[in-house]
Amino acid sequence: MHIVVDTPPPAPCWPDDLVLKPFDPECDLEAVYLADIDCSKDHHGYIEESFEIDFPRFHHYFINTENYDPTLWFIVWDRDEIAGISICRPYSRVDKNMGWVSSFGVRRPWRKKGLGLALLQHSFGEFFKRGKKKVGLTVDAGSLTGALDLYKKAGMSVFSQFDKNEKELRAGEEISLQKLEKGKQHD
């Protein structure tokens, strides 16, 4: 989805007691990772990974990239817990003139309170200040979280769509050779 931001977007209206704080890579990275994972649990195809495997992947994908800008990581806190995140990149891989919301989420206890809309409006406003007139993101249109409705409410529209179909070809046991049995030789 994307939005064209020709004029400053509406000012965000933050829910009570929630605070937007600057991202501190030294202190906040693990907490942001855990919040991102928590938000992702409601997405289609989510598969939980161990911290030891997934955190380095998160670090590589979000930090070790030319498109990393910690000033575009917007973290909303409820006291000492992260309520929502908007991890943005200065540009999209497909369009250098489009700001990109790379990961966005509101954790379950804070959903349906206006936080998602406020976080989007803040993100759009920051891109507007930096001269980005377009902002995009990807979304699972079948998400049960209501994300698609939220993005539409924020003024976004579909600019590209991909359909994914899955079909089980057979049920049963895995029949590929996983290891050789002890004592058997294959020539």
- Region 133-160: mean pLDDT is 86
pLDDT, position 177: 46
With cut-offs at 50, 70 and 90, classify the pLDDT of residue 172: low
Tell me the per-residue pLDDT of 19-46, one tens digit each, with 9 for 90 and over. Answer: 999 999 999 999 999 999 999 887 767 7
pLDDT, position 186: 41
With cut-offs at 50, 70 and 90, classify the pLDDT of residue 183: very low
pLDDT, position 174: 59
Position 26: which residue type?
E
> Domain 2-44+51-153 class?
alpha beta
Degrees, nearest 5: CA angle 48-93-47? 10
Contacts 24+ apart (CB under 8 A), 26-34: 28/75, 29/59, 29/63, 30/55, 31/82, 32/73, 32/75, 32/82, 32/85, 32/87, 33/58, 33/59, 34/82
Cβ atoms of 70 and 21 closer than 8 Å: no
- Region 86-101: mean pLDDT is 95
Can you give the residue ranges of every domain in the chain? Answer: 2-44+51-153
Percent of all residues in the chain with a pLDDT value above 70, rounded to a whole number: 86
pLDDT, position 147: 85
